[in-house]
Structure 1
Amino acid sequence: MTTPPALSVLDLVPVRTGQTSAQAVAASLALAQRADALGYRRYWFAEHHNMPAVASTTPPVLVAAAASRTSRIRVGSGGVMLPNHAPLVVAEQFAALEAIAPGRIDLGIGRAPGSDPVITQLLRRSGTTSEVDRFGDHIRDILAIMSATGATVRLVSAPGHPADSTYDIRATPAASGTPEVWLLGSSDYSAQLAAAFGLPYVFANHFSGEGLERALELYRTQFQPSAELAAPLTFLTANAVAAPTVAEAEERMLPQARMMARLRGGRPLVALETVEQAAAAEASDHLAAPLIDALHHRWFVGTGASVRTDLAAFAARHGVAEVMISPVAAARDDEPMDAATARIQTLELLAP
């Protein structure tokens, strides 16, 4: 019998038609509380920018809010897109979060921009963000700055300091613990970097799925033990919709499938459709039709029992003991704007 994997949650804070940002955030925070009560292992917030259907622009803020409303579950970023931010700022934010919720904070770090080129340029306009080609160096900097001992830099010249002197940097004055740092990605590069640094690694299977087997092989075969981790540690992400019937799960899946079709086809993005809106639109424009079969092979859609079975087989096939689901079940027109009714249903039906 296949051992069920531990389950975690990835949240993009979806925004449906007619919903305000405040309502979307309230719905996600209620979902985090429910995941905590149901026994899920982690709850991570993604970083995306300038997308009408996604409100998870600032993971540290959302992590703080979720940490204050939960008591057991680990909370974190899935992930902070490091090229958009100065490494010192990231280290300070997550060291502060560790002080707020000791032993419960994860810092998932990615290398992608999380948006389009215009937004990327605006995010980096201040000149304080992280150069993409120094991604590895900045990971190392963050680890050192968040540690209890901090980091030491050598100054060539700085106002008020003699040349060739040293300067100590700490994310917080007296750290008693550090966040767990994970590298995220969907490429060979991220897998190899995580292996070289001896850090845990997450493959973003919910987004693409292409190259999964190769990335895991590279990570596991090239892994170098470190002070943070003695052996390879990884889990996978996956989109999931669970409902009392397969028919309902299919209906709840369609709005997100249509959103994926918009992204892949370069169409204008809109707020996430409701179940009824998606069904009516799909009947005339067939936007998601070319994608549906492919998504069914990669997403986990069905009853609670069937999705649990499929997730266990997926985890066993790839040798992981944890799967982080992105519950992409959409709302119906008559469901409350400030509640994640369908996503809560998915978590309840799949609960460990």
Structure 2
Amino acid sequence: MSIRRLSVLDLIPVRDGQSTGQALAASVALAKRAESAGFHRYWVAEHHNMPAVASTNPPVLIAMLAGATEQLRVGSGGIMLPNHAPLVVAEQFALLEAAFPGRIDLGIGRAPGSDPVTNWALRHGGPQTGDADRFGEHVDNLVAMMEPAGVGLNLQGRAYALRATPQAIGRPTPWLLGSSDYSARLAAEKGLPYVFAHHFSGDSTAEVLDLYRSAFRPSDVSPAPQTFLTVNVVVAPTQEEADRLAKPYVLAMVALRTGGELRPQLSVEEAAEVRLPESHAALAAQMSERWVVGTPETASAQLEQLADHFGVDEVMVHPVAGALASDPVDHNPGRERTLDLLASSVFAAA
């Protein structure tokens, strides 16, 4: 199965010596590059209180990125519903759809997206709005609230009309995101498009996608199963350069998985000087073996093989190339070049 669409996942990385504003500028530049290279959609994640990640508020970022582009679909990968009231999310995305009609995706996740203390602060010390027992209910409410006609609420014997925005003519496309079979079952039951987090939880991707497809029930949102693949990717003219550019993110992931110090992302030169202990080196190798790191030819071939294996015609790449110490702070040439080289190779082959 050939790849018809390439898309982008962005965590808005912050590197050593870079301000939040400069990291945002680099992602705006990357989104523009993605659009000019022919990428289909551009999603931003929700993570909180992390020194190397600036994607804390997807609706704000989506407005910024959609305003800087013209045709690119922009969305969340995803909104972590346990952190938010469904009505607030419905209002945010209904407004985004009104401002950028036909271009907004709402990816919905169940994970908290941060540490327990930050999660407590997000909820004002109260309970989650999307616990495991009620997550499906909250997804239903969120999707219904975004309907142009709104929903009706019956309270104390009276009917109330509730609309996310007054005069909507469309709705954003909802997607359910997950890293377990729970999310696949729920997406299939509710007839929603679904994405499994292969880029960080890829051991059971095939089984989960098969479950989703086999159990899918058609709906007004999606008459047939819709899914794609997510992959961490670095592309450079040579394999050696691609490996060097990948190492800063490899080290960041090792620190995250082993309880190490979380800090702004190292430069490529700083990362090259780091020598991991044997146990951490084994973990790094295990994590990165699912990544696609290589030349345009080898990377596009690997992505084609993955797309064929998992039966998808769209691949969402998370460009994880690090930055050189001499790179401008408002751009990340390694990430931009990854998109350019990959698009040229994949689309030329098609």
TM exceeding 0.5: yes
State whether residues 9 and 77 of structure 2, in contact with CA within 8 Å, keep that contact through their aligned partners in structure 1: yes
Structure 2 CA distance, aligned partners of 1:170 and 1:52? Answer: 37
Kindly provide the amino acid, as one letter, of the partner of residue 154 in structure 2: R
Kindly provide the amino acid, as one letter, of the partner of residue 249 in structure 2: Q
Partner of residue 294, structure 1: 286
Partner of residue 260, structure 2: 267
TM-score by length of structure 1 reads 0.95
Kindly provide the amino acid, as one letter, of the partner of residue 109 in structure 1: I
Partner of residue 315, structure 2: 323
Percentage of matched positions with identical amino acids:
54
1:200 counterpart = 2:193: yes
Other structure's SS at 2:315 match? strand
Partner of residue 90, structure 2: 91
Partner of residue 105, structure 1: 104
- Structure 1 residue ranges, 4+ long, deviating more than 6 angstroms after superposition: none
Equivalent positions of 1:74-223 (< 5 A) are 74-125=73-124, 127=126, 130-132=129-131, 133-156=133-156, 164-223=157-216
Shift of residue 292, structure 1, vs aligned partner: 3.6
TM-score by length of structure 2 reads 0.95
Partner of residue 335, structure 1: 327
Shift of residue 185, structure 1, vs aligned partner: 0.4
State whether residues 250 and 288 of structure 2, in contact with CA within 8 Å, keep that contact through their aligned partners in structure 1: no
Structure 2 CA distance, aligned partners of 1:174 and 1:5? Answer: 35
Which of 288, 295, 309 is equivalent to 1:303? 295
Structure 2 CA distance, aligned partners of 1:131 and 1:254? Answer: 36
Shift of residue 169, structure 1, vs aligned partner: 0.4
Equivalent positions of 1:14-93 (< 5 A) are 14-93=13-92
Structure 1 CA distance, aligned partners of 2:141 and 2:234? Answer: 39
Distance 1:110 1:207, change over 3 A: same
State whether residues 5 and 312 of structure 1, in contact with CA within 8 Å, keep that contact through their aligned partners in structure 2: no
5+ residue gaps, structure 1 = 157-163
State whether residues 257 and 288 of structure 1, in contact with CA within 8 Å, keep that contact through their aligned partners in structure 2: no
Kindly provide the amino acid, as one letter, of the partner of residue 266 in structure 2: E
Structure 2 CA distance, aligned partners of 1:288 and 1:38? Answer: 36
Shift of residue 293, structure 1, vs aligned partner: 2.7
1:289-318 Cα distance to aligned partner (Å, 9 max, x none)? 223432342000000111011101100100
Structure 2 CA distance, aligned partners of 1:323 and 1:313? Answer: 11
5+ residue gaps, structure 2 = none
Structure 1 CA distance, aligned partners of 2:247 and 2:236? Answer: 13
Q: What is the Cα-based RMSD across aligned positions, in Å?
A: 1.4
1:313 counterpart = 2:308: no
Shift of residue 128, structure 1, vs aligned partner: 8.7
Structure 2 CA distance, aligned partners of 1:262 and 1:127? Answer: 30
Kindly provide the amino acid, as one letter, of the partner of residue 150 in structure 2: G
1:112-144 Cα distance to aligned partner (Å, 9 max, x none)? 000111111111116596231311111111111
State whether residues 85 and 128 of structure 1, in contact with CA within 8 Å, keep that contact through their aligned partners in structure 2: no
1:226 counterpart = 2:219: yes
